[in-house]
Amino acid sequence: MPLILVTNDDGITAGGLKTLVNSARKFGDVLVVAPDSPQSAQGHAITIERPVFVRESDVFGEEVEAYECSGTPVDCVKIAKSVLLNGRMPDLCVSGINHGSNAAINIIYSGTLSAAMEASLEGTPSIGFSFLDYKADADFSVCVPYVEKLISHVLTNGMAEGNLYNVNIPNLPADQIRGIKVCRQAEARWVEEYVRGEDPRGRPYYWLTGKFVNNEASEDADANALQAGYVSLVPSHHDLTNHLALEQLKAIETELQPAKVGNSTDQDREKQQLEQF
C-alpha cells in the first residue's frame, strides 16, 4: 500500500484535515503529523531555539496513526521524515485542506504550502489543498472529489520535476464548479496597512490588515481561474531563481572583473609588491 503523509497548518483538530485524512485513507496507509495549534501564515519557518514536542493523538481513532507537534507545519514534515518514518519515504504528502485561498502570492506566506514544499524538497510528490472558505464551520465536502482525483492521479502517474502542486478550490456549490484548470501563479498581492490601537496600559500595538489586489488579466492565472469557477492547479517549485534575468545579467561578469594594471593581473601586482620586501 502507498504511504501517505498528511499534514496542515490549521492544527490537528481542523475540519479540513479530517476531510483530507478520510480521503487519503482510501488510497493507502496514512501517517498524520500536524501542529497542536493553528499555525497559519508561518511560511517555511522552523523551530531552532526551543525543543519540539511530539505526542500521539487519537483524534482520528485507533486506525489512523497520528501525532500532534508543538512546532510549525514544516517542523511536522521534518519530524515525520527524521523520527517517525524510520527512514521510509512517503509515496505522497498532502497538506490541508486549508481555510482560505493560497493562490498567487499567498503561496509564499502559507504554512499549508510550505509543509508540502518541505516534503517535495526530499523528492516526495506533494499537494497543498486550500478551500476558499474562511468560516470555522466550512463544509469541505465539495472538495472531496477533486482531492481524491488528484491523489489517485499522482499515485498512478507520479509528478513532473518539481514535485509540488498548489491546488485551490472555489467556495461554490458542487454543480457550479467548472472543473480543474492548470494555471500559473497570478501576479497579485496584498496591499497592507497596520491599524493602530492601545492596550489597557496605554501601550501602542499594530494589527496587520489590508486587501488583496489582483491586476492580472490572463485567464490562465490561478486567481482568475478561481474567480471563473475553476479549481486551480499550479505546478510549483522551490527554485526562486529568476531564470529570465540570467542571460540579461551575464554582462555583469565582464563589467565587474578585477581591474588590471598595465599588462599585469592583480595576482601579478601582489607578487611584485612582495618582491620589493
Q: What is the pLDDT of residue 272?
A: 57
Average pLDDT, the chain: 88
Grid cell in block for residue 11: 492544527
| pLDDT tens track for 165-181 | 999 999 999 999 999 99
175 marked as part of a ligand binding site: no
Q: What is the DSSP letter of 93?
A: E
**Which DSSP string do the residues of 155-188 spell out, in sequence order?**
HHH---TT-EEEEEE-SS-GGG---EEE-B--SE
CA distance 255 to 139: 59
**Which DSSP string do the residues of 21-42 spell out, in sequence order?**
HHHHTTTSEEEEEEESS--TT-
Alpha-carbon Rg of the chain, whole angstroms? Answer: 24
What does the chain come to in residues? Answer: 277
10 marked as part of a ligand binding site: yes
| Domain boundaries along the sequence of the chain | 3-187+218-242
What number is the average pLDDT over the span 65-90? Answer: 93
| pLDDT tens track for 216-246 | 777 888 989 999 999 999 999 888 888 888 8
**Omega before 97 within 30 of 0, i.e. cis:** yes
CATH architecture of 3-187+218-242: 3-Layer(aba) Sandwich (3.40)
CA distance 264 to 277: 19
| pLDDT tens track for 111-160 | 999 999 999 998 899 999 999 998 888 999 999 999 999 999 999 999 87
Provide the whole-model pTM: 0.85
pLDDT category at 80 given cuts 50, 70, 90 is: very high
CB distance 30 to 155 below 8 Å: no
CB distance 104 to 61 below 8 Å: no
82 marked as part of a ligand binding site: no
pLDDT category at 25 given cuts 50, 70, 90 is: very high
Residue 50: other Cβ atoms inside 10 A: 8
| pLDDT tens track for 182-223 | 998 887 777 888 899 999 999 999 988 888 777 877 788 898
H helical segments located in the chain: 15-24, 73-79, 106-109, 111-121, 144-157, 222-227, 243-248, 250-255, 266-276
